[in-house]
Structure 1
Amino acid sequence: MPEHCSAPTFGIEEEFLLVDPRSRDVVAQPPSGLLEACRRAFDTRLAEEMFRSQIELVTPVLHDLAGARTCLLEGRQRLADIAESFGLGLYGAATHPFADWRQQLATDTPHYAQLFADYRDVAQRSLLSGLHVHVGVPTEVDRVRVMNRVLPWLPLLLALSASSPFWNGRRSGLLSYRRALCGEWPRMGIPEALPDEPALQAYIDLLLASESIRKRGDVWWFIRPSARFPTLELRIADACPRVADVLCIAGLFRGLVAWAIEAKDPVDMGLQRLVLEENYWRARRQGGAAHFLDVDGRSALRALDWLAQLRERIGPWVEAFGDGEVFEQARRILRHGSSAQRQLALYEGVRSTGIGQRQALAAVVDQVLDETRARSVRSEPEPA
């Protein structure tokens, strides 16, 4: 049990696409009045996203997973009710199986107009939904040092969250194609090898001075010290249709940050980078079915064994916070499949009956809509 253990506060950001339940396609232009209805319902919890067809919900500051569960379920239900009142469904996976990214319309604000002008097709192709988790870090603690300790474990969180196996009407060959598309952007992958926050600030100052970025928040690594809040922000995870999976990712990340704040062992940045790059690829490609290099680079191991290593490392913190169930949920995901694996299994099953590709992809959309709309964690079916 960690001494003087204090559970960090945290927050969760979820992105959703709006889908026509008849065509199963993403709507390029939502009906007039929908966004205003969402603003009235959620106020500051509603955040603008890149596309008009996309909505982001942001939780208030959270203190425990029980509160997070209630907040997520109530938020999703209210948002789904609003969407349904306008004839639309709420889609919570990281990519849509067949939506045409060329038809999507950018959000009409100066910020996004500039983003699309700067990045053009890279921005246009980013019809993607992620799960972001902020965990509070005490102001006296160097967030980059904490980030460097957490980094080696992040491919496991990506494997647990993977929900984007399809793109543009085809199987992509990856379980997280979202992260492949993120790789088209600058500064959206693995963080630079920086030792501490002063080095990070010097790096960002250089980017600003050279006009490489427009503002400090334009460093979009898959984990980063937030430019707005005293937090470390997880950005690697795909959006998760099931709330239970969101809570799993959030609980594991909070445990990792809490452990890393107190850890004292040195970090081998050179070896860590090589292992991280390999494991990041394996997580994108095969998710929880992959064999990963252990964080010390000694051997390959199954995802379940890697999870056991993670539990040995951060378990005392997670248990102290009362969040031990996240390990069991992670085991369920690895044994029975993430959203990406469920989507692929359904697609192959439908296709095997002789049904056409488009109808099989529509069945995948229906599955994601149903999982996103589940009214409680308990209503989500347990694997057989």
Structure 2
Amino acid sequence: MGCTFGIEEEYLLVDLASGRLLYDPPPQVLAACREVFGEHFAPEMFRSQVELVSPVFDSMAQARDFLASRRERLALQLSADGVGLLSAGSHPLGGWSQQRPTAEAHYRQLFEDYRQVARRSVVCGLHVHVGVPAGVDRIAVSNRVRRWLPLLLLLSASSPFWEGQDSGYCSYRRVLCGEWPRMGLPEPLDDWAHYQDYLAWLRSTGSLRTDGDCWWALRPSSRFPTLELRISDACPRLEDGLCIAGLFRQMVEWAIRQPVPGRAPDQQALWREQENYWRAMRLGRRGQFIGEDGSSLTAQQWLTETMDILQPGCAEARDAFSRAGAILLFGSSADHQLTAFALARQSGASEAQALRLVVKGLLDETAGQ
């Protein structure tokens, strides 16, 4: 049996009439979110944002059933109040300056510490936890998996618009993440002991309030015995999110099986990771990426190379690669949003009208329509 896993999805609450973010959802809207998600509901940084925290899964079929039913039920229930549920890295129309923060103490502290950086962070991610057996060094596992972080990002990219403008990036969300400390690629650390030394240094210098405030794109969870993927944009299409989760799960399982623990990347590997990360943010699936031998790779070549390494055995694992191939062939959410916007403009729609059509498409995809 493969590793267990869990998925956290963040959503935005949208006014169906205007397509804009709600800035202060009425009580019945948040009550509906709590009712449908139940114990799996979690508040987020803004009142217009909610999170679904899944139970532990053994299979993608379990994950699909759980997430699809919650998405569909909540979208239907909210529609009675003229509200939509949107899963994407950013809202195309924006409106961060009008958003109201959540009242929870943790988030109040974030807004106090990070000010406008926090206030601008009206973005949504897909987080995937994969269980790592006791006795296995999670930093060593991370060291083997981290090379693929840009690949997982480009497959999930869904935030090309920011504040009503084409940002020029497939994942502008990750650009915004770069404004925060400790939210980029992981530090090059050799093992768990090295990681604990790093956290101890941050605490001793007054740089870290809690271990959970280390928000790397890939990190050992401070709450669970898992490795947590945080680089991915939230996915409007559930099948894209399941693809990301399935690929990441395989990567972790492969890393656990390796006879020699993964060591911290050397300087050249760090340069390569950073360059590939920027190219994934900027160009998504259309980027040219740097292979481990310094050669140039298309996203499809990178995916094929990854499949050759991981050797997916079961149908579920092969399905994840098949879906990833379809994303590369037909486009990520970012590609689809940009295409929908361009087609609407060519048909005579104003920029505002075209953006509202993009929002409508995201709402439909989130609801499974």
Q: TM-score range by the shorter chain?
A: over 0.9
CA contact (8 A) 1:13 1:56 kept: yes
What do residues 300-358 of structure 1 show as CA deviations (whole Å, max 9, x unaligned)? Answer: 0111111000101112xx32473211111101000110000000001111111222110
Letter matched to residue 127 of structure 1: V
Letter matched to residue 301 of structure 2: D
2:274 maps to 1:277: yes
Cα distance, 1:297 vs. partner? 3.5
Once superposed, which parts of structure 1, at least 4 consecutive aligned residues long, lie more than 4 Å away?
Answer: 265-268
The equivalences for 1:300-311 within 5 A come to 300-311=296-307
Larger mean CA deviation between 199-208 and 174-183 belongs to: 199-208
Letter matched to residue 10 of structure 2: E
2:214 maps to 1:222: no
2:18 maps to 1:11: no
CA contact (8 A) 2:21 2:48 kept: yes
Structure 1, unaligned runs of 5 or more: 1-5, 376-384
What do residues 155-188 of structure 1 show as CA deviations (whole Å, max 9, x unaligned)? Answer: 0110000000000111001000000000000000
Q: Which residue of 2 aligns with 1:141?
A: 136
Cα distance, 1:208 vs. partner? 1.4
Cα distance, 1:192 vs. partner? 0.7
The equivalences for 1:159-308 within 5 A come to 159-264=154-259, 267=263, 268-294=265-291, 296-308=292-304
CA contact (8 A) 2:32 2:78 kept: no
Cα distance, 1:144 vs. partner? 0.3
CA contact (8 A) 1:51 1:105 kept: yes
Letter matched to residue 26 of structure 2: P
Distance 2:165 2:251 in 1: 35
Cα distance, 1:206 vs. partner? 1.5
Cα distance, 1:202 vs. partner? 1.4
Distance 2:200 2:310 in 1: 34
Q: Normalising by the residue count of structure 2, what TM-score does the alignment of the two structures yield?
A: 0.97
Q: Which residue of 2 aligns with 1:87?
A: 82
Letter matched to residue 356 of structure 1: S
Residue 181 of structure 1 aligns to a residue whose secondary structure is helix
Structural RMSD (CA): 1.2
Q: Which residue of 2 aligns with 1:334?
A: 328
Cα distance, 1:41 vs. partner? 3.0
Letter matched to residue 62 of structure 2: G
Pair 1:187–1:321, CA change in 2 (3 A): farther
Q: Which residue of 2 aligns with 1:324?
A: 318
CA contact (8 A) 1:46 1:56 kept: yes
Letter matched to residue 75 of structure 1: R
Q: Choose from 344, 349, 352 the match for 1:358.
A: 352
Cα distance, 1:36 vs. partner? 2.4
CA contact (8 A) 2:17 2:82 kept: no
Cα distance, 1:86 vs. partner? 2.3
Letter matched to residue 304 of structure 1: Q
Distance 1:37 1:368 in 2: 20
Larger mean CA deviation between 261-270 and 57-66 belongs to: 261-270
Residue 331 of structure 1 aligns to a residue whose secondary structure is helix
Q: Choose from 15, 20, 28 the match for 1:25.
A: 20
CA contact (8 A) 2:5 2:57 kept: yes
Letter matched to residue 298 of structure 2: R
CA contact (8 A) 1:226 1:232 kept: yes
Structure 2, unaligned runs of 5 or more: none
Residue 184 of structure 2 aligns to a residue whose secondary structure is coil
Distance 1:106 1:341 in 2: 30
Cα distance, 1:37 vs. partner? 2.9
CA contact (8 A) 2:290 2:297 kept: yes
Residue 363 of structure 1 aligns to a residue whose secondary structure is helix
Total equivalences in the alignment: 367
The equivalences for 1:10-159 within 5 A come to 10-159=5-154
Larger mean CA deviation between 145-154 and 266-275 belongs to: 266-275
Residue 324 of structure 1 aligns to a residue whose secondary structure is helix
Q: Which residue of 2 aligns with 1:343?
A: 337
Larger mean CA deviation between 259-268 and 181-190 belongs to: 259-268
Letter matched to residue 199 of structure 2: I
Q: Choose from 289, 309, 321 the match for 1:313.
A: 309
Residue 178 of structure 1 aligns to a residue whose secondary structure is helix
